[in-house]
Structure 1
């Protein structure tokens, strides 16, 4: 499909079906169905989604189960042209949108092309896809969002909107039990603590899963999980013009995820690690938001502090993989005292934002503000292996980052249905690196090595859009946006064993061009469509050099273009169809001799980018009165397709497409509900990475869990 053809098609107000949770339905007095207005806040102001000139998927709280263990996967599987990459270790998961991502894996905690925030507060790769708790909705915004969102939103942004204390009384308990030891319980409470002045809300969640990846050498199953999370918020409203929200949260997530698994082996997935892996992440966060209303504008101050701790330990020499590569029985490769890697990461993030917003009823809608982000990140790694020279010794590295920014965005009506909008953000980044390395005596490595460095950059991001309202129910828009992903220092100090200081990687920059249309038909059909083109310079690239067994870092230009369609339709009373379809074509361009070393070639596809993604869901509600009982029945089934994609820069390893099917059926009386569910009905094992260790030996990263059946109950008071 050519870009020009796609632009012509999307300009039409009539589009194909699809989308994610686009809207909720209501009814009028005569029982006709009316789609409710959907509001988004990810661009630092309240916008009606159907009027906003941006491609967005809005996911309601009911569309992601509260017991979802993998938030990143749950979100991306409902949004077209997104892909979740899970390297099974905390701090090494990320998203790409429309073919824009890190080329390889994140090089430090702030190396991301998709901004991820909770209630507008950005976090790092370490805090990415934290457990979802008491969520109101999730906003996936495609295309550069650096104008109001901030750093590293080159591909787009994900904003998780949690429930805040609003005085509404709620007291409920949700529980589930299922196969493979699945168990979940969550309690939620909310209401007025002081009538009309102080409201409170709290939620606590406990969950476990026993694992489903057999390890014959340890005599147990790996892939298990234990999760505990809590969140509390207070809202103080001394008068009608002042609101103060104080929020605190904590989560502890423990996994036992194996690293590589051998793909071409009977009984897959089966692990050959000789020690039990450990993956732990704790996240503590506190936020104070103050909002003051004036006659012509409002003032908002958001102050937040995050403390993120990550620990990963495991065996990177799976006996089935390395035994097969060496041509010896796997038992020959077992050595619990050697070939182990332990990594500890700690990050403290402080953010402050001040902003002014126009009054909601103003003709000109605008926002201006200033923000500051400080990240103090420490990376400690203790390694010892006979196979990878650079994975030997003790590494202790510190990366300190500061970003200052000022931004503004405005929407101006031109009359006759036309509207123009645009914004700019001016930012200043500074990052320092201090590294210390001590050898464990591996041949050819230095006894010790220290290094330090500093980089800084001032840059401008922005956007401009022109939209036309064909009628009250149909609008089209065109936009151009400038995106940016910060440069920095690679966190591991990969070359220190050889006395070589790690060079900084350059920032990535890009232009995105987009045309889109949004339409509502007969108050019961919602359609969305957009075409796009991305031109990215200096995308951050990491690869693996098989000749030296070293990770390789450089920058690489690439392009991508495509289309996404989305929407929902009420087929009959109580029966709703929702879905989304995305197509992305990507290619590397201007390949340099340096980036060719890890396999990049002119015209190669960008790794981890599926050409096709699709999701479709069918939701059915039946009043119990139609069958002579109280309450309501509900059933839904959701399907996600993720197409083939390459794991490597050379495009030698193509990973198969996969299909995820989840289903649920239940009954709710208003005070009590029960349900049955199945997750991953087809028992698929999505791959996040694939690499040939030998002609007939393929190692892979497996993301997520197999099929899980279960039942659950909800009680409300």
Structure 2
């Protein structure tokens, strides 16, 4: 009941943002934020998309270096760790939570400056970021697969001709250090450039008394971005973005005692080195349409390893670790035409485009273990190669049916093919044709208000059960009925998502109040889920399969209210109700079947909130207080262990003097323990510490605080 009281308190804090106010603001003081949703730049509050924009001010307010430190400001958005950073994203309860041996396609995509980093969240650094756009719901027309549940689009500041720069430094507890610099300006009359670099370090929040270090879960990241903007002519603009990511972080995060003292003898690691380039071109030389062309290439080395017994005590005579090394190479090309005003097709503004991409991932897996009693180290290895190709054509039409009524229709047709080979003998190909799109109706007949209703369809490509099939192929003792069953399920099919939503967005009280409310219902068809099958007499096998009847529904509210020149309130509230489809799993406790049908989906908290206020204390100083809250959620669809609900308090005191900015900041000021990932199983051997638990979880960021300074020129 106390959780409901906390939610009620959050609603009470935010309630004034929707109330009538007689205090008028004579001019628009809330900044206008434009986004790239619906192909054309548009104000966020004039788009029928459900979208949250986290701007540079909000990022600085939390002294955030990574996306996972600001995600809680968006309603119905969650993440899972199981790594040094938040690695996987969930929107409205949909999204992956981990990856082991098998290839994986993301339900929530991530694009940084036109480069598709979907599935490798460690790249989501916020260096020189202008804004983060979080699109909720299927983005089937514009992005296709990898955006079935949503898309995160991170955009850097644009290069300009004005010579300017900034140096920035931050220090905090846990030996946090961050230093960076940005420089921008004209290189010639027509060529502009921008360079940004940053280094982030931290000891992390784990003590390891066995090895005598407090930095076995450390952060050590170097980031760089270079941008060139060429005004080739009055009609042609070319942009080139180059990115470099070098993360050599620790991964010593899970404890048998579920605390921050983890005495493993083999601390893990979470590494990523990425080189990426994007090129975009905008040409307006034709009288009827504009041409937009973009391309990217990305090459990454990913390495993820950990001590799988999380300790140093060989109580059963066995200890060991595993390592996953992936080499990933990808490219994509997107060409589109956009109509100019007055040159409609069938009476509608139009967009038409084609898209092609390819991604290849090679996995080199090894686990090493030592049998203390029987002697000798043992090493198992496994290799795989997965290549996926996608080709798509898409289009969108927008009719102005009347002065205040508009209808938008979008469609995307996509063909994908997967090619998978591994050292266990699994050799499988898969291809399919998919489609997605959107139908949206917008009404603007009420002053400063957009009413909208839409139906959209998204999709996610199928995949392969390489690990499950490889096990039966590599074990001659596997009964033929088990082997045949899993071999027939070497591939699982694509998943589709049908989404219905309606809501309104508005600007009120002389533009001092902005408010957006959306209600949605989502039907998951052929939901990809971890399934289990029981073969007599008692042998269980796990694999990914498609299940029916998954549902997600909810409400989202976002608001910002400038009460007067000194006080601003803001709020983001999300309520979510989810149901699993027809899913049966193994009960870890009894060993028998457990029907999960109708249960809440994993990583889908029923409520989330972010509420806060900024007060201008004096002309050059402001104080921001904000709170995040999240309901408990299931860690997995395959067991019923849950996180705790939690509320986190943050504060920033900012001071501005000409070009110098100073801030004193703190996150999770009450030092609350909360979980970002959880597992449920018998460790090997179980219960080293005698706690008699099978639930293990990773704790989120504790109380952190520090001081930041920047100087602009």
Shift of 1:129: 4.8
Whether 1:278 aligns to 2:269 is yes
From 413, 418, 429, give the equivalent of 1:454.
429
Mapped to 2, the partners of 1:669 and 1:109 lie a distance apart of 51
2:192·2:229 contact (CA, 8 Å) conserved in 1?
A: yes
Whether 1:577 aligns to 2:572 is no
Whether 1:247 aligns to 2:231 is no
CA distance 1:409–1:71, change in 2 (3 Å): farther
Residue 414 of structure 2 aligns to a residue whose secondary structure is strand
1:242·1:290 contact (CA, 8 Å) conserved in 2?
A: yes
Shift of 1:67: 8.4
For structure 1, which segment, 487-496 or 413-422, has the greater mean C-alpha deviation from structure 2 after superposition? 487-496
Counterpart position of 1:465: 440
Mapped to 2, the partners of 1:701 and 1:151 lie a distance apart of 31
CA distance 1:384–1:259, change in 2 (3 Å): farther
Mapped to 1, the partners of 2:316 and 2:179 lie a distance apart of 39
CA distance 1:600–1:457, change in 2 (3 Å): farther
Superposition CA RMSD, Å: 2.9
2:67·2:126 contact (CA, 8 Å) conserved in 1?
A: no
Shift of 1:290: 1.1
Counterpart position of 1:696: 692
Residue 654 of structure 1 aligns to a residue whose secondary structure is coil
CA distance 1:123–1:207, change in 2 (3 Å): closer
CA distance 1:491–1:617, change in 2 (3 Å): farther
Shift of 1:111: 1.7
From 205, 213, 217, give the equivalent of 2:206.
213
Counterpart position of 1:171: 165
Counterpart position of 2:303: 311
Mapped to 1, the partners of 2:340 and 2:649 lie a distance apart of 44
From 435, 452, 457, give the equivalent of 1:477.
452
Structure-1-length-normalised TM-score: 0.85
CA distance 1:530–1:67, change in 2 (3 Å): closer
Deviations 1:521-562 (A, max 9, x none): 111000100111111022222368998797532222311111
From 347, 358, 366, give the equivalent of 2:328.
347
Shift of 1:491: 6.1
Mapped to 2, the partners of 1:553 and 1:597 lie a distance apart of 19
From 140, 146, 150, give the equivalent of 1:156.
150
Mapped to 2, the partners of 1:60 and 1:151 lie a distance apart of 26
For structure 1, which segment, 227-236 or 42-51, has the greater mean C-alpha deviation from structure 2 after superposition? 42-51
Mapped to 2, the partners of 1:124 and 1:152 lie a distance apart of 7
1:18·1:528 contact (CA, 8 Å) conserved in 2?
A: no
Counterpart position of 1:190: 184
Mapped to 2, the partners of 1:545 and 1:697 lie a distance apart of 25
Mapped to 2, the partners of 1:76 and 1:401 lie a distance apart of 29
2:62·2:667 contact (CA, 8 Å) conserved in 1?
A: no
Shift of 1:680: 2.1
Deviations 1:390-443 (A, max 9, x none): x9721110000100001111221111411100100000000000101xxxxxxx
CA distance 1:43–1:271, change in 2 (3 Å): farther
Shift of 1:182: 0.5
Deviations 1:161-209 (A, max 9, x none): 11121223221101011111101101000011113x0000010001100
From 373, 381, 401, give the equivalent of 2:365.
381
Mapped to 2, the partners of 1:248 and 1:66 lie a distance apart of 27
CA distance 1:552–1:703, change in 2 (3 Å): farther
2:556·2:572 contact (CA, 8 Å) conserved in 1?
A: yes
Mapped to 2, the partners of 1:202 and 1:600 lie a distance apart of 54
2:585·2:593 contact (CA, 8 Å) conserved in 1?
A: no
Whether 1:356 aligns to 2:314 is no
Shift of 1:361: 8.1
Residue 425 of structure 2 aligns to a residue whose secondary structure is strand
Whether 1:100 aligns to 2:94 is yes
Structure-2-length-normalised TM-score: 0.86
Counterpart position of 1:51: 46
Counterpart position of 1:445: none
CA distance 1:567–1:451, change in 2 (3 Å): same
Mapped to 2, the partners of 1:581 and 1:109 lie a distance apart of 34
Counterpart position of 1:509: 496
Counterpart position of 2:32: 37
Deviations 1:483-534 (A, max 9, x none): 1011012465652543666712221112111011111111100010011111
Whether 1:653 aligns to 2:637 is no
Gaps of 5+ in 2: 1-13, 19-23, 372-377, 477-482
Mapped to 1, the partners of 2:307 and 2:127 lie a distance apart of 32
CA distance 1:128–1:713, change in 2 (3 Å): closer
Query: Aligned ranges for residues 546-695 of structure 1 at < 5 Å?
Result: 551-557=542-548, 558-591=550-583, 599-624=594-619, 632-650=620-638, 652-687=640-675, 688-691=677-680, 693=682
For structure 1, which segment, 100-109 or 144-153, has the greater mean C-alpha deviation from structure 2 after superposition? 100-109
Mapped to 2, the partners of 1:432 and 1:621 lie a distance apart of 58
CA distance 1:131–1:116, change in 2 (3 Å): same
Counterpart position of 2:110: 116
1:98·1:155 contact (CA, 8 Å) conserved in 2?
A: yes
CA distance 1:289–1:275, change in 2 (3 Å): same
Mapped to 1, the partners of 2:283 and 2:632 lie a distance apart of 50
1:165·1:199 contact (CA, 8 Å) conserved in 2?
A: yes
For structure 1, which segment, 607-616 or 129-138, has the greater mean C-alpha deviation from structure 2 after superposition? 129-138
Mapped to 1, the partners of 2:342 and 2:568 lie a distance apart of 33
Mapped to 1, the partners of 2:586 and 2:341 lie a distance apart of 52
Whether 1:409 aligns to 2:390 is no
Counterpart position of 1:327: none
1:384·1:393 contact (CA, 8 Å) conserved in 2?
A: yes
Mapped to 1, the partners of 2:61 and 2:570 lie a distance apart of 20
Residue 112 of structure 1 aligns to a residue whose secondary structure is coil
CA distance 1:297–1:333, change in 2 (3 Å): farther
Mapped to 2, the partners of 1:541 and 1:72 lie a distance apart of 26
Mapped to 1, the partners of 2:17 and 2:250 lie a distance apart of 37
Shift of 1:650: 4.9
Mapped to 1, the partners of 2:308 and 2:529 lie a distance apart of 22
Deviations 1:104-148 (A, max 9, x none): 658755421112112344223125652122111111111100211
Mapped to 1, the partners of 2:452 and 2:164 lie a distance apart of 41
Shift of 1:470: 2.8
Deviations 1:215-246 (A, max 9, x none): 22112123211010000001110222110111
Shift of 1:594: 9.6
CA distance 1:83–1:236, change in 2 (3 Å): same
Counterpart position of 1:705: 701
Higher relative contact order (CA 8 A, sep 6+): 1
Counterpart position of 2:222: 228
CA distance 1:270–1:18, change in 2 (3 Å): farther
Counterpart position of 2:420: 433
Mapped to 2, the partners of 1:106 and 1:468 lie a distance apart of 47
Residue 44 of structure 1 aligns to a residue whose secondary structure is coil
Q: How many residues are matched?
A: 656
CA distance 1:146–1:254, change in 2 (3 Å): same
